[in-house]
Structure 1
């Protein structure tokens, strides 16, 4: 009995493969459309995609074109070819602005760009582009069912940009370019006013300014000492129970005890 079942399954697979190969070689576009749709409905994205790719030009301007273009774009999305799906779903939206699939297509197009966003340490061109696409979707469909997911993705992308900017500023501290570190943290705090890493940025800015004041020439120590203390005050005002309180207090004491020659104050 088991042998019979295995034989029937093997035959079914062979027939399916045979049908697919015949369709690929056929000139019958209607057959490709029908079989491609069957593969699409069965979740066989690669086979559906290959058949649709052969017939897309033949259906331009025809009633079936909208359905075909949607399925064609979705096969790319479901195969995780996000570069292609982002483009094709966008093209679908522009070609069929009245389609009932427009909202979904616009969202998945934006999500495709989100999927292309790299880790924070790499160039963030795709991240910025994904943010823009998601914002366009939110503006177009402010009450969409996809809104919570879209907002979540934007938040993740925001943090990725925030993390990159923070790590760049912190790296200047590591290589002892304290002036560049202070400048970078000041820019960070302006660019990301509600930053998740705000507490960390305020602390590392204080650390950089303390090191800068300590290493400064006499003529600059007084001003940098005052700036450092103002950075301490900004940290403890924003985060009275900061996790960096002990270290911050030590830096404040270091700044207050900074020895400045009298001649340099004139």
Structure 2
């Protein structure tokens, strides 16, 4: 019995709270309606159609008014979320951020587009923008190359996921440059070790360049440095093989001429050992 009374009082209390809440809402609404500074109808009428806003954004973009263009594209997403023009505006907003040098914002917006619309016709373009934004941040070869690795991942995604898109050719060109940067960094570290006569550590870096970045400009020097480091360690067969692969791929290279001269100081000459990892790697080098 007591439980029933308490339950009844609880229900009565909740009803009272609901009534009081509704009364409060009524007061707020009536207050808004009587407030001369708030005109709901006028506010609704001030929202422009999505297509109009999108075209205005494009016009601003073409006129070089990038900040205003970015505002228009962002406003579409706020006022007309999940509409066709909000979707298109998101991609153009990412491009506008990229043009302004706001690379982090461009990456974030394009990545958000890809997560929402992975199969959209503009998905390839969004992925390309991600690659471009990372690409523009690639530092000098002497600095950390994590951005180069991210650019490589983004452009690889364009090439593999959207092989028929118009962005593949440029992605491939920029991919080669980014890979060359990574290879260049490995060469820098290898030379550092070699100068300190840490030949094993140096040879490992040069080997990485030959095996992982064969189609870069760095591979020619990497092979010559392998000749030097293996020669210094007394690994004559490996040094000869590195020189032979270098000569086969870059016969007119000064690096090859210097390697050949170095071997001659011990009465050696380039000779390829087919069982060596260098011989196997040489099959996929630039000059083959």
**Is the shorter-chain TM-score for this pair beyond 0.5, marking a shared fold?**
yes
Residues 80-125 of structure 1: CA deviation (Å, up to 9, x unaligned):
2122111201212332345443332232222222222222222222
- 3-state SS, counterpart of residue 127 of structure 1: helix
| Cross-structure match for 1:250 | 261
Checking the alignment, whether the CA contact within 8 Å between 2:91 and 2:110 is kept in structure 1 is yes
Q: How many residues align?
A: 222
Please say which structure displays the higher CA radius of gyration.
2
Q: RMSD over aligned Cα, in angstroms?
A: 3.1
Task: Give matches, 1:1-266, under 5 Å.
Answer: 30=47, 38=56, 40-43=58-61, 44-50=65-71, 53=74, 56-62=77-83, 64-97=85-118, 99-213=120-234, 224-256=235-267
TM-score by length of 2: 0.64
Distance 2:73 2:195 in 1: 54
Query: Contact between 1:36 and 1:47, CA under 8 Å: does it hold in 2?
Result: no
Given the two structures, how large is their TM-score scaled by the length of structure 1? 0.69
Where structure 2 has 5 or more consecutive residues not aligned to the other structure, the ranges are: 1-41, 269-288
Structure 1 residues 255 and 140, CA gap change in structure 2 (3 angstroms)? same
Given that residues 193 and 199 in structure 2 are in contact (C-alpha distance below 8 angstroms), is that contact kept between their aligned partners in structure 1? yes
Structure 1 alignment gaps of length 5 or more: 1-25, 214-223, 258-266
Kept in 2, the 8 Å contact 1:36–1:49? The answer is no
The alpha-carbon distance between structure 1 residues 203 and 63, as it changes in their structure 2 partners (threshold 3 A), is closer
Distance 1:55 1:240 in 2: 60
